């Protein structure tokens, strides 16, 4: 029986065993896309390549048979690079968005399509939880957000974008008036404490997420009430203070402390804060006027000196977030910065290398032409954007919200969490834009009763072709054409439902991307059922509390 060495460990295997299987025996995982147990190796994706001593180039481990005395390295630098490039080549030739353009554009990377789906299904409490995972103040931002997401909304290329801002406001308002308000579950106390300087959107958001991570948080601000520019820089007609208060209230309930009227640098020095806490976050807003720096942290350009990725300033335990780091007048950017600094700081407090929040990993379809858009929107209701009737106070009613939610094209991918291409792309830090060339056309075939077929997402791995043949499909699937334009299709241009009868489910299961998806996984919009008219949710007659009502002493 052949004995082979993989990464300096030897294993004896049955004759005919592939290197991939031999490695698995050793617990060494080699990534694959086009490989599936029980199906003939396809040697298409070339992600499973390994280096074999004495052999030229790299070889696909899924099809290379282990020979006695073989010495294999499963992941050298060369191999990593080759894998990454193979992934990048596939990602660059992939016509499909992982996450919708709205989410990619949102500075807080909020899962907008997810929110819209939950609204559409009437699962509003879940929608609140989802939104607050990225934005702690949806009712606030739902009023003052600059709607960057709506500018990116693909529906906007068709008629008018989905009213994402109003839908977000709807979710926020729902929470404010809900019987049971959303309170995030905070992790057990870590015993670490963080001082947050500035109670604006960035500072409060940082506190919110740091607290969820189990750290105790104290927010210092020289004003009397928390909210920063949200309270003192926005007209109350645009953003009523009761809304702000209502959204800040949960922070108090989470156990975040607020020290009002404390001017850091005067009443208390940064050094004192650093001594008192394990780390500091400077979320002091626009620093334009303080050319000399803030409490010992110098200014670079128009911002405090700190790494934009890690938020870390030259003082290792002092982090900077919000407009103080990335000048912007958009509150949503500050909120995003707050969450990002919380993430970086959490890592720092655990003794790890700090790193802020990354942008969501996604392939982008880029611009679509009118024909493609028509296909893309084929199964989405085509009613016009819901307008709030004149005279109706506030935002959407639930019925209006659900109607508007039905307009979403759901650009996000059905297999976002299961797509192996995406998963490996993330693991290998493969760029989705490095090899952007001329792209294929977007196509979507909904003719099959069980499946949705999006050929643009196909990586031509051949699994479905093979599975259809193995399972004795009469017509089956075939590769059509060759080279760069090779496609998987039903022979003679027949519909997919003719090609895949028995093997449909197996093919969708095997598909490493979302080229073949089960309809049941496919996100889609439909009109709310008319027989269940949801009344506008009742505003409970209760007093809204003013959070952090008591003034606390300084220092």
Residue closer to other proteins, measured from CB, 26 or 480: 480
- 109 alpha carbon, distance to own chain's centre: 6
Residue closer to other proteins, measured from CB, 64 or 340: 64
- Report the DSSP beta bridge partners of residue 50: 59
Separate counts of helices (H) and strands (E) for the chain? 20, 16
Q: How far apart are CA 90 and CA 96, in angstroms?
A: 12
Task: List alpha helices for 112-200, DSSP H.
Answer: 112-120, 124-132, 138-144, 148-152, 155-158, 164-177
DSSP 8-state symbol, 319: E
The DSSP code sequence of 181-231 is: ---PPPPPP-S-EEEEE--SHHHHHHHHHHHHTT-EEEEE-SSSSTTTHHH
Assign 242 to helix, strand or coil: helix
Taking the complex as a whole, how short is the minimal distance between the CB of residue 1 and other proteins, in angstroms? Answer: 18
How far apart, in Å, are the Cα atoms of 255 and each of 47, 185, 297, 455? Answer: 48, 12, 29, 51
Report whether 285 contacts 314 (CB < 8 A): no
Residue closer to other proteins, measured from CB, 297 or 464: 464
Residue closer to other proteins, measured from CB, 60 or 200: 60
Q: How far apart are CA 147 and CA 169, in angstroms?
A: 12
- 178 alpha carbon, distance to own chain's centre: 27
Taking the complex as a whole, how short is the minimal distance between the CB of residue 89 and other proteins, in angstroms? Answer: 4
Residue closer to other proteins, measured from CB, 20 or 304: 20
Residue closer to other proteins, measured from CB, 390 or 474: 474
Taking the complex as a whole, how short is the minimal distance between the CB of residue 328 and other proteins, in angstroms? Answer: 30
Buried/exposed 238-276: b ≥16 CB within 10 Å, e otherwise = ebeeebbbbbbbbbbebebbbbbbbebbeebebeebbee
**Which has the closest alpha carbon to 100: 161, 14, 42, 167?**
161
Residue closer to other proteins, measured from CB, 44 or 347: 44
Taking the complex as a whole, how short is the minimal distance between the CB of residue 458 and other proteins, in angstroms? Answer: 12
Taking the complex as a whole, how short is the minimal distance between the CB of residue 14 and other proteins, in angstroms? Answer: 17
Report whether 203 contacts 339 (CB < 8 A): no
Q: Which residues bind to other proteins, rule: CB under 8 A?
A: 41-47, 49, 57-60, 63-65, 78, 81-82, 85-86, 89-90, 92-93, 435, 437-438, 459-460, 462, 465, 468-469, 474-486, 489, 491-493
Residue closer to other proteins, measured from CB, 54 or 483: 483
Give the length of the chain: 555
Taking the complex as a whole, how short is the minimal distance between the CB of residue 490 and other proteins, in angstroms? Answer: 8
**Which has the closest alpha carbon to 135: 323, 405, 338, 329?**
338
Report whether 115 contacts 130 (CB < 8 A): yes
Taking the complex as a whole, how short is the minimal distance between the CB of residue 27 and other proteins, in angstroms? Answer: 25
Q: How far apart are CA 515 and CA 540, in angstroms?
A: 47
Return the half-sphere exposure (C-beta side, CA atoms, 13 A cut-off) of residue 387: 5
Residue closer to other proteins, measured from CB, 164 or 506: 506
Taking the complex as a whole, how short is the minimal distance between the CB of residue 516 and other proteins, in angstroms? Answer: 16
**Which has the closest alpha carbon to 372: 289, 440, 318, 296?**
440
Taking the complex as a whole, how short is the minimal distance between the CB of residue 517 and other proteins, in angstroms? Answer: 21
Taking the complex as a whole, how short is the minimal distance between the CB of residue 501 and other proteins, in angstroms? Answer: 13
Residue closer to other proteins, measured from CB, 81 or 551: 81
Taking the complex as a whole, how short is the minimal distance between the CB of residue 75 and other proteins, in angstroms? Answer: 14
Taking the complex as a whole, how short is the minimal distance between the CB of residue 514 and other proteins, in angstroms? Answer: 18
Residue closer to other proteins, measured from CB, 76 or 269: 76
Assign 125 to helix, strand or coil: helix
Residue closer to other proteins, measured from CB, 117 or 422: 422
Tell me which H or E stretch contains 270: helix 270-276
């Amino acid at each position: 029986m052949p004995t082979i060495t993989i990464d300096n460990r030897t294993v004896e295997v049955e004759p005919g065993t592939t290197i991939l299987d031999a490695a698995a025996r050793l617990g060494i995982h080699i990534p694959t896309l086009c490989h599936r147990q029980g199906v003939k190796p396809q040697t298409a994706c070339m992600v499973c390549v390994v280096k074999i001593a004495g052999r030229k180039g790299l070889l696909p481990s899924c099809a290379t048979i282990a020979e006695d005395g073989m010495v294999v390295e499963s992941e050298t630098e060369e191999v990593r690079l080759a894998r990454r490039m193979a992934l990048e080549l596939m990602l660059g030739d992939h016509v499909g968005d992982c996450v919708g353009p709205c989410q990619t554009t949102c500075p807080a990377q909020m899962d907008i399509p997810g929110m819209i789906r939950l609204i559409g299904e009437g699962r509003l409490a879940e929608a609140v939880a989802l939104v607050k995972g990225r934005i702690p103040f949806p009712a606030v931002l739902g009023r003052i957000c600059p709607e960057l997401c709506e500018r990116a909304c693909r529906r906007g290329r068709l008629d008018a974008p989905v009213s994402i801002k109003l839908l977000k406001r709807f979710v926020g308002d729902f929470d404010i008036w809900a019987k049971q308000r959303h309170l995030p579950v905070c992790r057990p106390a870590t015993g670490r404490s963080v001082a947050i300087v500035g109670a604006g959107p960035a500072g409060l958001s940082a506190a919110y997420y740091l607290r969820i991570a189990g750290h105790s948080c104290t927010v210092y601000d020289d004003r009397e009430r928390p909210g920063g520019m949200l309270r003192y820089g926005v007209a109350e007609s645009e953003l009523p203070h009761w809304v702000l208060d209502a959204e800040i209230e949960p922070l108090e309930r989470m156990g975040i402390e607020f020290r009002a009227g404390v001017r850091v640098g005067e009443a208390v020095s940064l050094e004192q804060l650093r001594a008192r806490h394990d780390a500091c976050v400077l979320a002091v807003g626009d620093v334009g006027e303080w050319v000399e720096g803030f409490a010992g942290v110098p200014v670079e350009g128009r911002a405090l000196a700190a790494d934009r990725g890690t938020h870390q300033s030259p003082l290792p335990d002092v982090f900077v977030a919000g407009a103080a780091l990335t000048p912007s007048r958009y509150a949503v950017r500050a909120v995003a910065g707050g969450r990002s600094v919380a993430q970086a700081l959490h890592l720092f407090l655990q003794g790890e290398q700090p790193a802020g929040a990354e942008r969501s990993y996604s392939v982008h379809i880029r611009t679509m032409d009118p024909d493609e858009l028509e296909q893309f929107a084929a199964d989405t209701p085509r009613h016009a954007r819901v307008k709030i009737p004149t005279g109706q106070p506030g935002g959407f009613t639930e019925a209006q919200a659900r109607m508007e939610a039905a307009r979403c094209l759901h650009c996000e991918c059905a297999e976002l969490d299961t797509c192996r291409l995406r998963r490996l792309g993330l693991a290998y830090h493969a760029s989705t834009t490095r090899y952007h060339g001329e792209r294929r056309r977007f196509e979507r075939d909904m003719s099959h009763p069980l499946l949705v077929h999006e050929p643009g997402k196909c990586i031509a791995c051949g699994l479905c072709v093979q599975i259809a043949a193995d399972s004795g499909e009469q017509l089956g699937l075939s590769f059509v054409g060759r080279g760069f334009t090779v496609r998987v299709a039903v022979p003679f241009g027949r519909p997919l439902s003719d090609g895949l009868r028995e093997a449909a489910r197996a093919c969708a299961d095997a598909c490493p991307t979302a080229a073949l998806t089960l309809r049941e996984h496919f996100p889609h919009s439909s009109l709310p059922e008319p027989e269940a008219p949801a009344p506008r949710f009742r505003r409970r007659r209760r007093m809204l509390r003013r959070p952090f009502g008591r003034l606390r002493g300084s220092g």
